[in-house]
Structure 1
Amino acid sequence: MEKTTLDKIPLNCEVYIDSVECGNGIKNRIFDMGITEGEKIVPIMKSPFGDPTAYLSKGTVIALRESDCSKITVRLNRDYA
Structure 2
Amino acid sequence: MNVEHEVTLLIGEIKRLGTQDAEGKYSVTFGVLFNDDQCANIFEALVGTLRAAKRKKVVTYEGELLLQGVHDKVAIKLLKDSL
TM-score (norm 2): 0.32
Structure (1 or 2) with the greater strand fraction: 1
Q: Which has the higher contact order (CA 8 A, sep 6+)?
A: 1
Structure (1 or 2) with the greater helix fraction: 2
